[in-house]
Amino acid sequence: MSEQTVDPKPPKGGKAPRSAAPKPPLPEDVSAELRATEAPQAEAPNPGAQTPPPSPGLDIAALSAEQRAQLEKLSSNLARAAVAAQGVIAEMALRNAERPPALTADPFHVGPALTEVMGRLAAQPDRMMRAQADLFTRYMELWQSTARRLHDGTAAPVATPAKGDKRFMDPDWSDNPAFDAIKQSYLITSDWLNTLVAQVDGVDPMEKRRAEFFMKMLTDAFSPSNFLTSNPAALRELMSSGGESLVRGMENFAADLERGGGQLAIAQTDYEMFKLGENVATAPGKVVFRNEIIELIQYEPTTERVHEIPLVIFPPWINKFYILDLRPENSMIRWLADQGFTVFVASWVNPDSKLSTRTFEDYMREGIYAGTAAAMEQAGVTHVNTVGYCIGGTLLGSTLAHMAAKGVQPISSATFFAAQHDFTEAGDLLLFTNEEWLRDLEQKMDEGGGVLSGQAMADTFNMLRANDLIWSFFVNNYLLGREPKPFDLLFWNSDQTRMPKTLHLFYLRKFYGENALAEGKLVLDNTRLSLGDVKIPIYMQSSKEDHIAPARSVYKSARLFGGPVTYTLAGSGHIAGVINAPVAKKYQHWTAEGLPPTLEEWQASAGETPGSWWPHWAAWLADKSGGMVPARDPAKGPLKRLGDAPGEYVKVRG
């Protein structure tokens, strides 16, 4: 559940990142400054032969003392970086020699998909010829454009980066003709490859989608921005620092390997500067209930009177709950308290091998059933309103169907943030849920004591947005030799929890694989579930650019419920679309009455409103939350106080 679009302003008092060297102009001939070869020894003169031109070696004696010192420093640091790299690679090889052999020669399980795609292309030679001719034509246009630019500087670019592509923001990618040509050549080639795969006919849709994803991942990896010799900013940093940037980069590389236990775990932020309860997850409250699955936190009120029916929030158990409470200015928990709601939040356990056999049904009973019962007892009420975020919403929807089937309904209304119940149009995570992936995953979890490591979960989500969450940090940390900036969202993003084997495989197979809940085939507690039996009011939030729970998938989920449903579409994506405090005045949202058959029909009648969707939801929620009563102090309820917010479960690292 990763997305780097929340306002990246670091908290006050954060450690400043290592300062970068000032940006001097890129040397016109970097290779000339690095060249230090001596001229070959002259042979005996041959009267009949032409005199060869002098060798273009670097005359060390002609350099000033300062230039010689700079060259010495550069040479020394390049040698240091090379030695450090050799040491790191050797250490990694030794560590990995003790690991089990690779699970498969095709770790992405894309071989069959690529074979099918290439087979279809081979069967259409006319299309391949047209594609190759098109590629050759574009290369010729680039050559002509580059030649014209070198001649009179007037040529327009043949290929330009997509809007928002941060890889080529350095001015030299456009100002320097050589780097501009490299950039455009890459863009032409990568676009050609991705389009070729995307336009192939007669391939199974899921196999084609898998091949498209792999091709995009491959072309992103081979971007010239990811290599020292073709990245102008990295070369400039190398020269201006006398090679120290590369030494720092190798030190960062070694530190990331050490932190990953021999596997590369690229640092995305300064992890040391964030402390739970000190500068993130700071909303005051008390832990009022705990079992093996959750801690339930009740937050302090900020108004003298509150709505009678409290709100219980069930976030995803893949990440920690404090995405709802990163900073005071964007904390949903604090904002809801300011609106007069009594707020409870479930903090899921970070399970170890002792909980490896816990099931989806256990999470339903000890999570949502137990959490809502504790909140009702603490608040002295018979009903609560609920929120389910992402996978927490999938569990909440399943629980609502179970309650309906059992004839009990302690929940007055339910809100879903970016949550899926129909998985036919799920996001790119669907590509990681075929049986080949699941067999590898099961083996990984067996080797890990019955749980999937938090790092494995983080790696999967990072792959979904590799340019933002992998390659940008690869360039920053290793090629530029800089420290990643402090960013609370990325600290949270790295704070993944472990996944119990039984629960995780059930979720992936039953929801992503079989779409069992949407098709009325999911059985929990010997009870077949149907979302059509759920008649309580539902509020469904989705985000326009969500790549994990796409808006179309959430819309199809909304149409499964049997009662009144309010659907809202927010701007941005899976995180920023949800966590968008009104004070930020960012993005927009769309609302409309009714749920026509398709999202496109709904959008045609929807009205756009600038800013956050939170006020629209708060008005809807207030109408479902009863009259006003005196504010509830978490320290004075009937349940025993077990500690201060943010509790203990959230502090366990994965």
Q: How far is C-alpha 649 from the chain's CA centre?
A: 23
Q: Is 308 a catalytic residue?
A: no
User: What whole-number distance in Å separates Cα of residue 234 and Cα of residue 572?
Assistant: 31
Output the pLDDT for position 95: 65
Cα–Cα distance, 362 to 264 (Å, whole number)? 34
* Distance separating alpha carbons of residues 180 and 186, to the nearest angstrom: 10
Q: What is the mean pLDDT of the segment spanning 599-614?
A: 97
Q: Which of 304-308, 361-365, 487-491, 596-600 has the lowest mean pLDDT?
A: 487-491
What is the C-alpha separation between 415 and 343, in angstroms, rounded?
14
Q: What's the pLDDT score for residue 306? A: 98
Average pLDDT, the chain: 88
Cross-strand pairs, 527: 524
pLDDT at position 212 over 90: yes
Which has more pLDDT, 223 or 258? Answer: 223
Q: Look up residue 280 and give its DSSP letter.
A: B
CB 2 within 8 A of CB 549: no
Q: Is the pLDDT of residue 50 over 80?
A: no
Examine the pLDDT at 154 and tell me if it is beyond 60: yes
Q: Which residue has the higher pLDDT, 28 or 204?
A: 204
Q: Quick one: tokens of 389?
A: 């975020």
**Position 141 confidence tier, pLDDT thresholds 50, 70, 90:** very high
The CATH fold assigned to 285-430+498-651 is Rossmann fold (3.40.50)
> Which helix H or strand E contains 542, and what residues bound it?
strand 538-543
Show the tokens assigned to 591: 């609302």
- The mean per-residue pLDDT over the stretch 441-470 comes to 90
Q: In the numeric block, which tokens belong to residue 44? A: 């005996």
Among 111-125, 334-348, 357-371, 500-514, the range scoring the smallest mean pLDDT is 111-125
| End-to-end CA gap in the chain | 15
**Given this model, what pLDDT does residue 105 score?**
63
CA distance 477 to 490: 15
Query: Which residues, listed in sequence order, are joined to residue 384 by a DSSP beta bridge?
Result: 411
Residue reference for tokens 């455009």: 184
Q: Over 90: is that where the pLDDT of 68 sits? A: no
- Which one is catalytic: 390, 429, 470, 538? 390
Query: What is the rounded CA–CA span in Å between residue 56 and residue 36?
Result: 10
Taking alpha carbons only, the member of 455, 453, 459 closest to residue 498 is 453
The residue ranking higher by pLDDT, 194 or 11, is 194
Helix/strand/coil percent split, the chain, to 5? 50, 10, 40
Helices (H) and strands (E) in the chain, counts: 22, 17
Predicted confidence at residue 103, as pLDDT, reads 46
Beta-sheet pairing, 285-290 with 607-610: unpaired
In the block, which residue shows the tokens 């014209």? 148
The dihedral region occupied by 165, where left means phi > 0, alpha psi between -120 and 50, and beta the remainder, is beta
State how far the Cα of 555 lies from the Cα of 34, in Å rounded to an integer: 59
Region 130-140 average pLDDT: 94
> What pLDDT score was predicted for residue 587?
96
Sign (positive or negative) of CA dihedral 419, 425, 426, 427? negative
Q: Is the pLDDT of residue 58 over 80?
A: no
Token reading at 12: 């006050």
- Res. 104 pLDDT band, cuts 50 70 90: low
**Which pLDDT band, with edges at 50, 70 and 90, does 31 fall under?**
very low
Q: What is the pLDDT of residue 41?
A: 39
